[in-house]
């Protein structure tokens, strides 16, 4: 055998060894990490009507805690006005599914009440203690080998997600902070789950694949998300509850996490479970679960890489013997308020003060929505004419494009609108897309102010 053949065999052997070594390394990396696991959990709302968002976040804490994450590495944002609310039929407890266990016990109260702000959230991600305004002071002190998991549950709209104490968090501001985190080499990989309406708009056309961030959202950039475990649905909360207990996307990944060995389940496998349940739970509803960022580079990581390595060493236990239901009833997130008020009205005794009060609240909510619809229609018609105005309200850009070119203009128009027409309600947030389209069409501040002064006149 000549020397050239021997050399070729030797090179092939080296190549085969390298490939196998990479496979072994990949297998090990899927279920273990040399750095620290961090988790940041945010409930982006307050008020008893929004019970489900804090329930989602408390449940997420219990899942991560049971998987071995330490409290010092789990940072929780929640207004904390639900567990002991006067309407809570079980004071001091929060449940996330019908007949579910209490998920409130033991949850760290890092940032509560007025400290649940976009500014504090961004400071926590960056590890910037000097930028905090209240709270426990815990931040993500990430290093280059660390793995970070971020979960948000709340209300959203095209281009932003809600915060109970600081208005909203705009997509561009979040992306800018993620870029700083990446450039500081303060993590190895990051996974983000977002449950809100239009949650895809927070990342569509904005998040590069090179930052080693994997994102899963409850819906497309132009799509609503859904609440579940609501009154008069199946399965429904116990009779004494007037509210939805969870959000479909959130309970899907949480309940999936409770039933699997997460050292064996990959992010891709969890996505497939959540995608099917979120899209097809109700034949008349559901949303498309989306992914952004470095999907191909991270999807084969085990879920335990981010959630923790102890799949069976539960501190918190739930009933996990049942299979995930393939079909459950859901409710449009922005209709959860009306559903709550309607349920209270239906439940109150005829002729009682409670009945009268519930009827008044329901009528006020419906009237407010009608007024908000009318205002947006009038503004769009004045600026663009009737037909073009309707297009401005509804137009959705092509997949892969961010929804607005000038984020400064978008923020400006949103601010001017709120100044003249009042703060954005949960229902009205859907019209943020009209503002982005106005910016993309070249509407300036002066023209918008003149139009708003015409439409949103003081009472």
Model confidence over 251-278: pLDDT tens digits? 999 999 998 889 999 999 999 999 999 9
In the predicted structure, residue 7 carries a pLDDT above the cut 50? no
Give 7: exposed, middle or buried? Use CB within 10 Å, 0-12, 13-18, 19+.
exposed
Mean pLDDT, the chain, as a whole number? 86
Do 348 and 358 touch, CB atoms closer than 8 A? yes
Domain ranges of the chain: 26-332, 348-455
Please say whether the structural domain 26-332 has been given the CATH code 3.40.50.1460: yes
CB 219 within 8 A of CB 396: no
**Sign of torsion, CA 178 118 81 51?**
negative
DSSP line for 62-114: HHHHHTT--GGGEEEE----STT-TT-SSTT---SSTTPPP--TT---SB-GG
Say if strands 290-293 and 246-247 run parallel, antiparallel, or are unpaired: unpaired
Joined together, the tokens standing for residue 370 give 């009608």
Among 74, 48, 73, CA closest to 61:
74
> Which pLDDT score, from 0 to 100, does residue 317 have?
42
- Write out pLDDT tens, residues 214-237: 999 999 999 999 999 998 888 889
Report whether pLDDT(458) > 80.
no
Q: How many residues does the chain have?
A: 459
- Report CA dihedral (333, 55, 42, 187) to the nearest 10 degrees: -120
What per-residue confidence (pLDDT) applies to 23? 37
**pLDDT of 199 higher than 90:** yes
Backbone torsions φ then ψ of 22, nearest 5 degrees: -65, -40
Question: With a threshold of 0.75, does the pTM exceed it?
Answer: yes
Terminal CA-CA length for the chain: 97
**pLDDT at residue 327, as a whole number:** 56
Q: Is it the case that residue 305 has pLDDT exceeding 70?
A: yes
pLDDT at 361: 80
Burial bucket for residue 434 (CB in 10 Å: 0-12, 13-18, 19+)? buried
CB 58 within 8 A of CB 94: yes
Cβ atoms 184, 140 nearer than 8 A: no
With tokens 């037909």, the residue in question is 387
Reduce the DSSP state of residue 262 to 3 states and report it. coil
Least confident of 90-94, 218-222, 351-355, 442-446: 351-355
> 317-374: per-residue pLDDT in tens?
444 333 445 556 677 677 777 777 777 777 778 888 888 887 888 888 888 888 888 8
The counts of H helices and E strands in the chain are 14, 12
The matching CATH number, chosen from 3.40.50.11540, 3.40.50.300, 3.40.50.620, 1.10.132.130, for 348-455 is: 1.10.132.130
pLDDT at 339: 73
3-state secondary structure of 215: strand
What are the E-state strand segments in 295-371?
Answer: 330-332
Closest CA to 127 of 40, 216, 32, 35: 40
Q: Which residues are catalytic?
A: 155, 197
Give the Å distances, CA to CA, from 303 to 110, 164, 269, 395. 25, 30, 9, 37
Cis peptide before 294 (omega within 30 of 0): no
Predicted confidence at residue 284, as pLDDT, reads 59
Q: Return the DSSP state at 230.
A: -
Q: Do residues 343 and 232 lie in contact, with contact meaning Cβ atoms separated by under 8 Å?
A: yes
């Amino acid at each position: 055998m000549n020397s050239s053949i021997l050399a070729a065999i030797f090179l092939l052997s080296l190549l085969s060894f390298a490939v196998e070594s990479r496979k072994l390394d990949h297998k090990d990396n899927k279920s273990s990490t040399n750095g620290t696991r961090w988790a940041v959990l945010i409930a982006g709302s307050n008020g008893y009507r929004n019970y489900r968002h804090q329930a989602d976040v408390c449940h997420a804490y219990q899942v991560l805690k049971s998987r071995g994450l330490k409290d010092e590495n789990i940072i929780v944002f929640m207004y904390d006005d639900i567990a002991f609310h006067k309407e809570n039929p079980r004071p001091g407890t929060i449940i996330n599914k019908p007949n579910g266990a209490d998920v409130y016990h033991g949850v760290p109260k890092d940032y509560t009440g007025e400290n649940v702000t976009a500014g504090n959230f961004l400071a926590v991600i960056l590890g910037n203690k000097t930028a905090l305004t209240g709270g426990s002071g815990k931040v993500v002190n990430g290093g280059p080998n660390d793995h970070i998991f971020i979960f948000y549950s709340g209300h959203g709209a095209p281009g932003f997600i809600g915060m109970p104490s600081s208005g909203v968090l705009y997509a561009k501001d979040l992306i800018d902070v993620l870029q700083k985190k990446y450039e500081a080499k303060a993590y190895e990989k990051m996974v983000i789950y977002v449950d809100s309406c239009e949650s895809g708009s927070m990342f569509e056309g904005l998040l590069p694949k090179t930052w080693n961030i994997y994102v899963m959202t409850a819906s497309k950039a132009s799509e609503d998300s859904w609440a579940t475990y609501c009154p008069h649905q199946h399965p429904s909360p116990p009779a004494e509850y007037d509210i939805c207990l969870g959000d479909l996307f959130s309970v899907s990944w949480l309940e999936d996490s409770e039933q699997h060995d997460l050292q064996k389940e990959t992010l891709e496998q969890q996505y497939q479970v959540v995608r099917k349940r979120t899209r097809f739970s109700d034949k008349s509803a559901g949303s498309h679960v989306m992914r952004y960022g470095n999907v191909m580079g991270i999807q084969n990581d085990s879920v335990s890489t981010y959630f923790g390595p102890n799949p069976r060493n539960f501190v918190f236990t739930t009933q996990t013997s049942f299979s995930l239901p393939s079909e459950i009833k859901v409710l449009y997130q922005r209709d959860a308020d009306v559903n709550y008020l309607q349920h209270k009205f239906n439940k109150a005794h005829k002729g009682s003060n409670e009945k009268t009060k519930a009827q008044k609240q329901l009528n006020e909510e419906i009237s407010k929505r009608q007024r908000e619809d009318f205002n947006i229609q009038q503004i769009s018609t004045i600026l663009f004419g009737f037909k073009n105005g309707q297009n401005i309200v509804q137009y959705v850009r092509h997949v892969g494009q961010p929804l607005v070119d000038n984020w400064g203009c978008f923020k400006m128009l949103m601010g001017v609108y709120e100044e003249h027409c009042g703060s954005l309600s949960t229902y009205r947030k859907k019209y943020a897309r009209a503002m982005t389209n106005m910016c993309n069409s070249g509407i300036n501040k002066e023209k918008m102010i003149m139009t708003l002064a015409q439409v949103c006149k003081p009472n």
